[in-house]
Amino acid sequence: MSETEMTAGRQFIAGRRVASGEATLLSLKAADGDATGHRFYPASREEAALAAQAAAQAFAAYCETSPETRARFLETIADELDRLGETFFAIAHAETALPLARLQGERARTSGQLRMFAGLLRRGDVLGGAH
Protein backbone atom coordinates (compact mmCIF):
# COMPACT_ATOMS: atom_id res chain seq x y z
CA MET A 1 0.00 0.00 0.00
CA SER A 2 1.41 3.38 -0.93
CA GLU A 3 1.45 6.22 1.56
CA THR A 4 -1.08 8.04 -0.65
CA GLU A 5 -3.46 5.09 -0.37
CA MET A 6 -2.80 4.89 3.36
CA THR A 7 -3.99 8.46 3.85
CA ALA A 8 -6.97 8.26 1.46
CA GLY A 9 -9.44 7.91 4.35
CA ARG A 10 -11.53 5.18 2.76
CA GLN A 11 -12.45 1.74 4.08
CA PHE A 12 -10.44 -1.21 2.76
CA ILE A 13 -12.98 -4.00 2.17
CA ALA A 14 -12.32 -7.21 0.25
CA GLY A 15 -9.24 -5.74 -1.40
CA ARG A 16 -10.85 -2.48 -2.51
CA ARG A 17 -10.94 1.08 -1.18
CA VAL A 18 -14.56 2.16 -0.71
CA ALA A 19 -16.46 5.16 0.64
CA SER A 20 -20.16 5.43 -0.09
CA GLY A 21 -20.83 8.80 1.48
CA GLU A 22 -19.59 12.30 0.89
CA ALA A 23 -19.40 13.41 4.53
CA THR A 24 -15.96 13.22 6.09
CA LEU A 25 -14.36 13.44 9.50
CA LEU A 26 -11.23 15.47 10.10
CA SER A 27 -8.12 14.04 11.69
CA LEU A 28 -7.02 16.27 14.57
CA LYS A 29 -3.66 16.97 16.17
CA ALA A 30 -3.59 15.72 19.76
CA ALA A 31 -1.41 18.59 20.94
CA ASP A 32 -3.68 21.47 19.93
CA GLY A 33 -6.85 20.10 18.30
CA ASP A 34 -6.02 21.65 14.93
CA ALA A 35 -6.85 19.70 11.78
CA THR A 36 -4.06 17.62 10.23
CA GLY A 37 -5.48 17.96 6.73
CA HIS A 38 -6.47 14.30 6.53
CA ARG A 39 -10.12 13.35 6.08
CA PHE A 40 -11.84 10.05 6.71
CA TYR A 41 -15.11 8.73 5.35
CA PRO A 42 -17.31 7.19 8.05
CA ALA A 43 -18.37 3.65 7.16
CA SER A 44 -22.03 3.22 6.35
CA ARG A 45 -24.06 0.36 7.82
CA GLU A 46 -23.86 -1.33 4.43
CA GLU A 47 -20.07 -1.00 4.35
CA ALA A 48 -19.80 -2.39 7.88
CA ALA A 49 -21.96 -5.37 6.89
CA LEU A 50 -19.92 -5.88 3.73
CA ALA A 51 -16.70 -5.76 5.77
CA ALA A 52 -18.04 -8.36 8.22
CA GLN A 53 -19.13 -10.61 5.35
CA ALA A 54 -15.76 -10.27 3.60
CA ALA A 55 -13.93 -11.00 6.87
CA ALA A 56 -15.98 -14.16 7.41
CA GLN A 57 -15.20 -15.35 3.90
CA ALA A 58 -11.51 -14.56 4.30
CA PHE A 59 -11.42 -16.39 7.64
CA ALA A 60 -12.99 -19.49 6.12
CA ALA A 61 -10.32 -19.50 3.41
CA TYR A 62 -7.54 -18.77 5.93
CA CYS A 63 -8.61 -21.74 8.08
CA GLU A 64 -7.78 -24.02 5.15
CA THR A 65 -4.20 -22.76 4.81
CA SER A 66 -1.09 -24.58 5.97
CA PRO A 67 1.08 -23.41 8.88
CA GLU A 68 3.75 -22.40 6.33
CA THR A 69 1.26 -20.24 4.42
CA ARG A 70 0.15 -18.61 7.66
CA ALA A 71 3.77 -17.98 8.64
CA ARG A 72 4.46 -16.30 5.29
CA PHE A 73 1.28 -14.23 5.72
CA LEU A 74 2.45 -12.96 9.13
CA GLU A 75 5.90 -12.19 7.72
CA THR A 76 4.33 -10.23 4.87
CA ILE A 77 2.38 -8.13 7.36
CA ALA A 78 5.59 -7.52 9.32
CA ASP A 79 7.44 -6.53 6.14
CA GLU A 80 4.68 -4.06 5.23
CA LEU A 81 4.77 -2.54 8.72
CA ASP A 82 8.53 -2.16 8.45
CA ARG A 83 8.13 -0.36 5.11
CA LEU A 84 5.89 2.36 6.54
CA GLY A 85 7.66 5.61 5.88
CA GLU A 86 7.92 9.05 7.35
CA THR A 87 4.38 10.02 6.34
CA PHE A 88 2.97 7.31 8.60
CA PHE A 89 5.06 8.43 11.58
CA ALA A 90 4.27 12.11 11.01
CA ILE A 91 0.53 11.39 11.00
CA ALA A 92 0.67 9.04 14.00
CA HIS A 93 2.77 11.55 15.95
CA ALA A 94 0.38 14.41 15.14
CA GLU A 95 -2.74 12.40 16.01
CA THR A 96 -1.39 10.87 19.25
CA ALA A 97 1.35 13.27 20.41
CA LEU A 98 3.46 10.18 21.13
CA PRO A 99 7.19 10.70 20.58
CA LEU A 100 8.53 9.42 17.26
CA ALA A 101 10.92 7.04 19.04
CA ARG A 102 7.97 5.44 20.85
CA LEU A 103 6.02 5.02 17.61
CA GLN A 104 9.04 3.52 15.86
CA GLY A 105 9.59 1.19 18.82
CA GLU A 106 5.95 0.07 18.74
CA ARG A 107 6.27 -0.72 15.06
CA ALA A 108 9.44 -2.74 15.69
CA ARG A 109 7.81 -4.60 18.59
CA THR A 110 4.75 -5.45 16.54
CA SER A 111 6.66 -6.66 13.49
CA GLY A 112 8.97 -8.64 15.79
CA GLN A 113 6.01 -10.36 17.42
CA LEU A 114 4.53 -11.22 14.03
CA ARG A 115 7.83 -12.81 13.01
CA MET A 116 8.00 -14.69 16.31
CA PHE A 117 4.54 -16.15 15.72
CA ALA A 118 5.57 -17.08 12.17
CA GLY A 119 8.48 -19.00 13.68
CA LEU A 120 6.16 -20.78 16.11
CA LEU A 121 3.92 -21.81 13.23
CA ARG A 122 6.93 -23.26 11.43
CA ARG A 123 8.09 -25.15 14.52
CA GLY A 124 4.66 -26.67 14.85
CA ASP A 125 5.14 -28.01 18.36
CA VAL A 126 2.84 -25.39 19.88
CA LEU A 127 -0.11 -26.07 17.59
CA GLY A 128 -1.52 -28.90 19.68
CA GLY A 129 -2.94 -30.58 16.61
CA ALA A 130 -5.19 -27.60 15.82
CA HIS A 131 -3.86 -26.12 12.62
The pTM for the full model equals 0.80
Residues of the chain with pLDDT under 50: 1
Model pLDDT, residue 7:
55
Q: Measured between alpha carbons, how far is 48 from 56 in angstroms, rounded to an integer?
A: 12
In order, the DSSP letters of 83-112 are H--HHHHHHHHHHH---HHHHHHHHHHHHH
Nearest CA to 101 out of 85, 115, 89 is that of 89
CB atoms within 10 A of CB 106: 13
Pairing between β-strand 11-13 and β-strand 16-18 as defined by DSSP bridges: antiparallel
Model pLDDT, residue 21:
81
Model pLDDT, residue 23:
86
